[in-house]
Amino acid sequence: MPKPAKNEEVNVRFFRWRLGQRNGVYFADGRANQPPLGRQTLGTRDRREALQELVDLDLTMAVQYGRADASLLKTESHQILPWVEGRRLYENYVKRPVIAGGTRPATAKRYRAVLDKFIPFAEAQGRRTWNELNRQLLDDYASWLDGESYAYATEYLELTTLKQIVKFLITNQHLPSTVAFTYPLKKPDGTDTYCWTPEEVAAILQHCRTPELDWLRQVVIGLAATGLRISELASLRWSDINPEKTLVTLTDETTKKSRRGQERRTTKSGRDRTFPIQEMLGDVLRTMSPHPDGRVFHGPLGGKIKADTVRRILIRDVLTPLAARFPSRADERGFIDGRLHSFRHYFCSNCANQGTKERVLMNWLGHRNSRMVHRYYHLHDEESIRQMQQVKLF
């Protein structure tokens, strides 16, 4: 006598079910879940209809047990969009060729980083679909970014990106219009990025003179002596540096054919730029040995630099231990609030205070006009006093 067929296991959006038949009618057994969901008839002998009924049952139970928002029950099942599918649709859209209106690779990469953080956060809150993205979830995400010490400008970019994705999904009918909501954001006015003083940068470098942090010392010198963004420093190759180690040529490779096994580099401005190597950086470069991957700077384990990894280690192993040495008032940003982009501000301010001409500085930083240079410039009290002491009335 043949053994009875085992019930088919089906993983739906929220729960796992066993699909079986009794007298030819399909039923769903959810007793293996936590909490147990019992055994439910699906009321049909047709397998395709049974699977559709199972999707609806799964959502109903998810709402009942607080795993999904009740508003999803008002949405047609084919308009419910999981995070992964919505992400795939949007990333395919932004990755279309630049000539067809697609974004630059660096921009697409930035969007990817946003979703890499946001989707796991949303899932941890019990949200499974783009239909459940609302003001409260964005508020919670903004609070989480605050707790992770992200800068205001970063939070603004991430929340704006999520709003853009929802708008795209609705416009292209991947989501119903009922999902739309308003979420006004205050655009950053000026900059809240802290700019370190020369004394503070010197202390950071001294603190990194250990075998465990020497890689970070090299990265800090690279950032402070060039004003490069961390993404640009991470992509810097030995082939970008002339043999005498006196010049760096940073090329944008958006329209160039990539070499085998090598990522195409993009610069934020989309333009190439060449700048001289500062003396202290040159000394560091001459002590470094070429790496098989061709990159100049590397992370703690010798791999490609990851901005979030560098940021976390900088805060944990350098800024926090040194914070007591450089205290600040509770109502103002100080040493402990500095981040990787602070080195770009430091480079700009240090050069300006030492008399570097604005046009030269613009070329080094890769800007077409002086507005961004002015944004990066910070005048510390010590430098202000030094400059005033040089002013003669007669």
Same domain, 204 and 334: yes
- The answer to whether residue 371 scores a pLDDT higher than 70 is no
Domain endpoint, select from 151, 179, 207: 179
Q: Is residue 367 part of a domain?
A: yes
- The answer to whether residue 263 scores a pLDDT higher than 50 is yes
Residue 133: domain span: 83-179
Binned at pLDDT 50, 70 and 90, residue 267 comes out as low
State the total domains in the chain: 3
Same domain, 211 and 356: yes
What contacts 24+ positions apart, CB below 8 Å, involve 154-159? 156/185, 156/186, 156/187, 156/188, 157/110, 157/114, 158/114, 158/117, 158/118, 159/183, 159/185
What mean pLDDT comes out for the span 15-35?
91
Mean residue pLDDT across the chain: 84
Same domain, 239 and 324: yes
Same domain, 27 and 129: no
Instruction: Output the pTM of the full model.
Output: 0.56
pLDDT tens for each residue of 295-350: 999 999 999 999 989 999 999 999 999 999 999 887 788 999 999 989 988 888 88
Same domain, 97 and 37: no
Which residue in this structure is represented by tokens 């465990």? 212
Q: Is residue 354 part of a domain?
A: yes
More confident residue, 335 or 365: 335
Q: Is residue 379 part of a domain?
A: yes
CATH number at residue 243: 1.10.443.10
Same domain, 228 and 174: no
Domain endpoint, select from 147, 179, 211: 179
Q: Is residue 233 part of a domain?
A: yes
Q: Is residue 87 part of a domain?
A: yes
Q: Is residue 288 within 8 Å of residue 229, measured between CB atoms?
A: no
Measure the CA dihedral 356/359/360/363, to 10°. 140
Same domain, 280 and 325: yes
Which residue in this structure is represented by tokens 């810097």? 236
310's CB contacts (< 8 A; 6+ apart) are 216, 219, 230, 299, 340
Q: Is the peptide bond before 82 cis (omega within 30 degrees of 0)?
A: no
What is residue 295's DSSP assignment? Answer: B
Q: Give the DSSP per-residue string, 122-185.
A: HHHTT--BGGG--HHHHHHHHHHHHHTT--HHHHHHHHHHHHHHHHHHHHTTSS-GGG------
Same domain, 232 and 340: yes
